[in-house]
Structure 1
Amino acid sequence: MNRHGLSLLILTILCTSVCAQRMLPFSAVPDMVDEVYETIRDHHPIGYESAGRERLLAARTQVQGFMSSARFADSIALWDFTRLVSPLQEVTDCGHLILEPHFDSLMNVRVRENVFPLSLMRTDDGRFILLKGLRTTTDSLLPTTAIAAINGEELGPMIDNMAYFAGLNDVGNVSATQAAIARGMGLQYQRHYGLQASLTLTLTDGSRREILPTHRPWVDPKKKVTPIAETITFRYAEDGQTGILDINSFADRKFRDGNYYKFVKQVFDTLKQSGTRQLIIDLRDNTGGSSGRINYLYSFLSEGKFRFADRIILTGPAKALPGESAKDLKRRRSGAVSKHGRKVQRVLSKAMKPRKANLRFDGEVVVLINEMTFSASGMFARFVQGSGRGKLLGVTAGASAGTTFGGSNRKKRLFIGPNEEFELKVNNIALQLPYAIEGNVTPDIIVPITEDALREGRDEQLERALVLVEGKGLR
Structure 2
Amino acid sequence: MFFRIMVAGFCALLMLPSLKVSADSELIDMDKVVSVADLHADLYALVEGYYSLHPAPHHNLDAIELNNTVKKIKSQLTKPMTVKEAWRLFSLINPVLHDGHAGIAIPRRKSLIEKELSQGKRVFPLHVYLDLNNRLFLRKDFHGSSFLPSGIEILSINGKTSKEIIKEMLLRRSGDNVEQQRELISRWFSEEYWSNFDAAPNYEIEYLENDIRHTVNIQGSDTLMDKKLSQRSFDSLYSYKLLNDSTGYIRVETMNKKFFKEFLAMTETAFEYFKKQNVSDLVIDISDNGGGGNSMWQKGIMPYIAHTPYRYSSAYKARVTKEIASADDVIGMRVSGDIEMTEPDLTNPLKFKGNVYILVGSMTYSSAIHFAIAVQDHGIGSIIGTPTAGRSGTTGLVTDIKLKATGLDAYAPVVLYSRPSNKNNMLSVQPDIFIPFDAIHSYDLDKMFANKAICLLAND
* TM-score normalized by the length of structure 2: 0.73
The alignment status of 1:153 with 2:142, answered yes or no, reads no
Label 1:195 to 1:142 Cα distance change in 2 as closer, same or farther (>3 A). Answer: same
C-alpha contact 1:295 1:308 (8 A) present in aligned 2: no
Q: 1:229 aligns to what SS in structure 2? A: helix
Q: Which residue of 2 aligns with 1:395?
A: 386
Rounded Cα–Cα distance in structure 1 between residues aligned with 2:287 and 2:449 = 13
CA deviation string 1:335-362 (max 9, x = no partner): 49xxxxxxxx9xx856243353632112
C-alpha contact 1:115 1:214 (8 A) present in aligned 2: yes
The alignment status of 1:353 with 2:344, answered yes or no, reads yes
CA deviation string 1:248-281 (max 9, x = no partner): 11112349xx811010111111111111111112
Label 1:453 to 1:130 Cα distance change in 2 as closer, same or farther (>3 A). Answer: closer
Q: Which residue of 2 aligns with 1:430?
A: 416
Q: Which residue of 2 aligns with 1:11?
A: none
Rounded Cα–Cα distance in structure 2 between residues aligned with 1:394 and 1:234 = 19
Label 1:301 to 1:131 Cα distance change in 2 as closer, same or farther (>3 A). Answer: farther
CA deviation string 1:136-189 (max 9, x = no partner): 99x62343233222222222332343234533x33xx21222122122111111
The alignment status of 1:122 with 2:130, answered yes or no, reads yes
Q: 1:131 aligns to what SS in structure 2? A: strand
Q: 2:403 aligns to what SS in structure 1? A: strand
Label 1:394 to 1:105 Cα distance change in 2 as closer, same or farther (>3 A). Answer: closer
By relative contact order (CA 8 Å, sep 6+), the higher-ranking structure is: 2
Q: Which residue of 1 aligns with 2:148?
A: 141
C-alpha contact 1:304 1:354 (8 A) present in aligned 2: no
Rounded Cα–Cα distance in structure 2 between residues aligned with 1:406 and 1:259 = 24
Rounded Cα–Cα distance in structure 2 between residues aligned with 1:103 and 1:245 = 30
The alignment status of 1:300 with 2:326, answered yes or no, reads no
Q: Which residue of 1 aligns with 2:19?
A: none
Q: Which residue of 1 aligns with 2:251?
A: 246
Q: 1:294 aligns to what SS in structure 2? A: helix
Amino acid in structure 2 at the alignment position of 1:378: I
Q: 2:256 aligns to what SS in structure 1? A: coil
Amino acid in structure 2 at the alignment position of 1:130: L
Q: Which residue of 2 aligns with 1:10?
A: none
- Identity over the aligned pairs, expressed in percent? 17
Q: Which residue of 2 aligns with 1:6?
A: none
Q: Which residue of 2 aligns with 1:320?
A: none
C-alpha contact 1:102 1:191 (8 A) present in aligned 2: no
Q: Which residue of 1 aligns with 2:268?
A: 265
Label 1:22 to 1:110 Cα distance change in 2 as closer, same or farther (>3 A). Answer: same
Label 1:364 to 1:289 Cα distance change in 2 as closer, same or farther (>3 A). Answer: same
Label 1:359 to 1:216 Cα distance change in 2 as closer, same or farther (>3 A). Answer: same
What aligned pairs does 1:54-453 form with structure 2 within 5 A after superposition? 58-63=64-69, 81-82=89-90, 84-86=92-94, 89-90=97-98, 94-101=99-106, 107=112, 109-110=114-115, 117-124=125-132, 126-133=134-141, 140-164=147-171, 166-167=173-174, 169-170=175-176, 173-204=177-208, 205-215=213-223, 221=229, 224=230, 226-237=232-243, 239-254=244-259, 259-296=262-299, 297-316=301-320, 328=329, 332=333, 334-335=335-336, 349=340, 351-356=342-347, 358-408=349-399, 410=400, 414-415=402-403, 419-420=406-407, 422-438=408-424, 439-450=427-438
Q: Which residue of 2 aligns with 1:459?
A: 448
- Greater mean deviation of Cα atoms: 286-295 or 308-317: 308-317
Rounded Cα–Cα distance in structure 1 between residues aligned with 2:132 and 2:67 = 36
- Greater mean deviation of Cα atoms: 286-295 or 22-31: 22-31
Q: Which residue of 2 aligns with 1:39?
A: 49
Amino acid in structure 2 at the alignment position of 1:276: V
C-alpha contact 2:313 2:370 (8 A) present in aligned 1: no
CA deviation string 1:411-470 (max 9, x = no partner): xx7337x544x4212232333332332211122333333267559x99366324542476
Can you give the 5+ residue segments of structure 1 that lack an aligned partner in the other structure?
Answer: 1-20, 318-324, 337-344
Rounded Cα–Cα distance in structure 1 between residues aligned with 2:376 and 2:117 = 36
Q: 2:417 aligns to what SS in structure 1? A: strand
C-alpha contact 1:285 1:372 (8 A) present in aligned 2: yes
Label 1:62 to 1:125 Cα distance change in 2 as closer, same or farther (>3 A). Answer: closer
C-alpha contact 1:235 1:243 (8 A) present in aligned 2: yes
RMSD: 4.2
Amino acid in structure 2 at the alignment position of 1:175: E
Rounded Cα–Cα distance in structure 2 between residues aligned with 1:301 and 1:380 = 12
C-alpha deviation, 1:105, in angstroms: 10
Rounded Cα–Cα distance in structure 2 between residues aligned with 1:105 and 1:209 = 25
Q: 1:253 aligns to what SS in structure 2? A: helix
Amino acid in structure 1 at the alignment position of 2:247: T
Q: 1:46 aligns to what SS in structure 2? A: coil
Can you give the 5+ residue segments of structure 2 that lack an aligned partner in the other structure?
Answer: 1-29, 322-326
C-alpha deviation, 1:131, in angstroms: 2.7
